[in-house]
Chains A and B, each alone.
Chain A
């Protein structure tokens, strides 16, 4: 009888010890996760691609991540960030640049006046709406 009681007590203690240890480790791991520093201006890509805390991997012995866990969010993020710069909005009008004729144009009126003072020629100032080197002007 005494021997049986002794075995039960030992079993209970062992069980409590295992469960307590597991809770303790889990709490520690969560606390580590919360304390992981996050730079103020860090781009979101780093967060999305960030590997989980070392302790979490150790404790939970998580299976190896698939590539998609890291790569897909990064691709989405890059697409979202670069789409606007690479592709103009559908309705935006881009006026193609062209050669402004065969006239030797001075950069501005002041430059033309400086050249005229040397050459003695009058200045021709051509003013317009739009730009002469735009296709639609």
Chain B
């Protein structure tokens, strides 16, 4: 995804970006013989955190997203982070907790992802500043503009092979799951922690939200991998 001009340009213009590895990725290799080797990795165990310039997490996107949704969410989160940064220092933590509380409530009410931001914009027009709930204080007033593909508004890439179509559907499904379920978990976590350094929440998010326990050499899959393996005792001896 970071090879796409649209994505890379938006990130370069809007953020100071860095990446880091939390552990080696599990690699599965199946040697079918005669030089036919299948190599795959476990996808989806990624976390995008948006932080203030002084290094505190404002919000985070768990797992993989389609590029259009990723950009849309990054746009909103970037605006939230800027609003948090411009708020009074002694109120930032309070506002960030309130923001997460509001987002979690909205998701629990089955509001569409991004609906809270739209509500925030409407409130800005129809109600006075004083009446605005604190939960919406950090959300952008105006809709965030993210770059769209030049050809058509439809962002789904032209796919031909059945495998590509299946992968795209999986990605769309993952995106929905991330926005509905995993984002809710992250909002609930960050509503409790407030502004926090990334290393303080990285392991809990990987374990509880992405279901990949970084402290377990088998990422929490040990029971599944070994429960029915008939030679476990023999291997243990060796």
Name A residues whose Cβ lies closer than 8 Å to a Cβ of B: 93, 95, 99-113, 115-117, 119-132, 134, 136-137
Contacts and interface: CB of A to CB of B under 8 A. Distances in A.
Given A102-B8, A129-B25, A137-B25, A123 B16 contact: yes
Given A120-B53, A124-B74, 8 more contacts: A123-B50, A124-B48, A126-B19, A126-B48, A127-B48, A129-B45, A130-B41, A136-B41
Nearest to B202: A127
Contacts of B49: 124-125, 127
A57 B186 CA distance: 84
A119 B12 CA distance: 12
A106 B18 CA distance: 5
B198 interface: yes
A102 B20 contact: no
Contacts of A108: 18, 20
Interface string B18-57: 1111111111010000000001111001111111111101
B118 interface: no
Nearest to B42: A129
Nearest to B17: A124
Contact of A123 (B4, B24, B53): B53
B19 A104 contact: no
Contact of B52 (A99, A109, A123): A123
24 contacts: A95-B27, A102-B2, A102-B3, A102-B4, A103-B11, A109-B18, A109-B20, A116-B16, A116-B51, A117-B54, A121-B14, A122-B81, A122-B82, A124-B49, A126-B48, A127-B21, A127-B47, A127-B202, A128-B21, A129-B25, A129-B46, A132-B19, A137-B25, A137-B41
Contacts of B29: 93
Contacts of B12: 103-104
Per DSSP, chain B at the interface is mixed
A124 B1 CA distance: 15
B123 interface: no
B52 A122 contact: yes
A63 to B, nearest CB: 51
B198 A109 contact: yes
Contacts of A126: 17-20, 46-48
Contact of B19 (A93, A99, A127): A127
B15 interface: yes
Contacts of B11: 103, 124
A128 B47 contact: yes
Contacts of B57: 125
Contacts of B121: none
A125 B25 contact: no
Which 4 A-B pairs give the minimum distances between C-beta atoms? A101-B2, A130-B25, A116-B53, A102-B8
B86 to A, nearest CB: 9
A40 to B, nearest CB: 38
B26 A129 contact: yes
Nearest to B23: A129
Contacts of B26: 129
B22 A127 contact: yes
Contacts of A112: 16-18
A105 B2 CA distance: 11
Contacts of A122: 14-16, 50-53, 58, 77-78, 81-82, 85
